[in-house]
């Protein structure tokens, strides 16, 4: 069996929290009078909260102190967490849950590899707390994607080496992180067409085909 485990990014792969990230950052940007749109928001996918703020501040003409930046990031997170509070089990797409259950039934280990410090709260909202075999997130890393740390930690938690794991991502930064760590990757959305993923997917369910084709070939 080529892939014994699948490591999933969370935001934009398992659930669509990316829209809440956008809404929260948009409120901060509007308050500061900074131009911010969905295209700029795409650059925030996979990168940490503070790095996201730095990208938004590229269009700001004033210089902020580290304290001011931390206060802005904290304010954004408060808005974001409030939006997350509205989420429930129904925000977990049926296709995602069915695919996860099928992979699990086939004996594949499942893990999360997310830059978010809110990952465990999101999993709880979705009814997925205790579902994954391992959760590696923003609370156990010091370097964000495209650094491979979050995926290497997930593999370590699973006691697997990177060649045995497949990474699923919606962000180019995440695909680059997988590559840097020696993982094969399956991309969704922008990550599917960035030319760097091992496999491109049209939808989450395509994962079953990828995993099964690689099982029979080994
Ligand atoms: C990633 C998102 O999953 O988590 C990024 O794609 C986000 O957009 C990052 O900046 C950090 O999230 P959080 O929840 O710790 O602010
Ligand atoms: Mg993502």
Rounded distance from Cα 122 to ligand 2 centre (Å): 13
Ligand nearest to the CA of 8: 2
Residue given tokens 């408060």 in the structure block: 78
Average pLDDT over residues 165-186: 97
Best mutation site among 116, 167, 172 for ligand 1, i.e. most ligand atoms within 8 A of its Cβ?
A: 116
The per-residue pLDDT for range 106-139, each reduced to its tens digit, is 999 999 999 999 999 999 999 999 999 999 999 9
Q: Does 218 have pLDDT greater than 50?
A: no
Give phi and psi for 128, each to the nearest 5: -110, 15
Q: Residue 47 and residue 10: Cα distance in Å, rounded?
A: 12
Structural domains in the chain? 5-15+92-215 (3.40.50.1000), 18-84 (1.10.150.240)
- Give CA separation, 195 vs 62, 144, 189, 203, in Å: 37, 21, 12, 17
Q: Which residue's CA is the closest to the ligand 1 atom numbered 13?
A: 116
Q: What value does the mean pLDDT of the chain take?
A: 96
Rounded distance from Cα 38 to ligand 2 centre (Å): 14
Using the atom order of ligand 1, give the atom closest to the CA of residue 46. 6
pLDDT in the model for residue 61: 94
Q: Does 149 have pLDDT greater than 70?
A: yes
Using the atom order of ligand 1, give the atom closest to the CA of residue 11. 3
pLDDT in the model for residue 216: 54
Q: Residue 53 and residue 214: Cα distance in Å, rounded?
A: 40
Rounded distance from Cα 45 to ligand 1 centre (Å): 7
Assess whether the C-beta atom of 21 lies below 6 angstroms from ligand 1.
yes
Ligand nearest to the CA of 169: 2
Assess whether the C-beta atom of 81 lies below 6 angstroms from ligand 1.
no
Assess whether the C-beta atom of 17 lies below 6 angstroms from ligand 1.
no
Provide the residues around ligand 2 (an ion) whose CB is within 5 A: 9, 11-12, 170-171
35-41 long-range contacts, Cβ below 8 Å, gap at least 24? 35/59
pLDDT in the model for residue 215: 72
Q: Which of 9, 18, 137, 184 is catalytic?
A: 9
The per-residue pLDDT for range 61-99, each reduced to its tens digit, is 999 999 999 999 999 999 999 999 999 999 999 999 999
What share of the chain in percent tops pLDDT 90?
95
Annotated active-site residue 11? The verdict is yes
Which residue, among 41, 191, 24, 45, has the nearest Cα to 116 in the 3D structure?
Answer: 45
Q: Does 5 have pLDDT greater than 50?
A: yes
Average pLDDT over residues 170-199: 97
């Amino acid at each position: 069996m080529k892939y014994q485990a699948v490591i999933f990014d969370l935001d934009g792969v398992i659930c669509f929290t990316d829209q809440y990230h956008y809404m929260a950052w948009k409120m901060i940007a509007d308050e500061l009078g900074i131009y911010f749109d969905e295209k700029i928001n795409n650059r925030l996918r996979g990168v940490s909260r503070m790095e996201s703020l730095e990208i938004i501040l590229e269009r700001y003409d004033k210089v902020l102190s580290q304290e001011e930046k931390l206060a802005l990031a904290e304010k954004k997170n408060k808005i974001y967490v409030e939006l997350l509070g509205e989420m429930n089990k129904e925000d977990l797409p049926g296709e995602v849950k069915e695919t996860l259950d099928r992979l699990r039934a086939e004996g594949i280990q499942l893990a999360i590899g997310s830059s978010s410090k809110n990952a465990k709260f999101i999993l709880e909202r979705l009814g997925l707390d205790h579902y994954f075999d391992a959760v590696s997130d923003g609370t156990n890393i010091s370097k964000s994607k495209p650094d491979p740390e979050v995926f290497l930690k997930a593999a370590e938690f699973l006691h697997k080496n990177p060649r045995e794991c497949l990474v699923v991502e919606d962000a180019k930064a995440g695909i680059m992180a997988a590559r840097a760590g020696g993982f094969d990757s399956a991309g969704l959305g922008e990550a599917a067409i960035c030319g760097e993923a091992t496999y491109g997917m049209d939808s989450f369910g395509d994962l079953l085909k990828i995993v099964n084709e690689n099982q029979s070939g080994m």
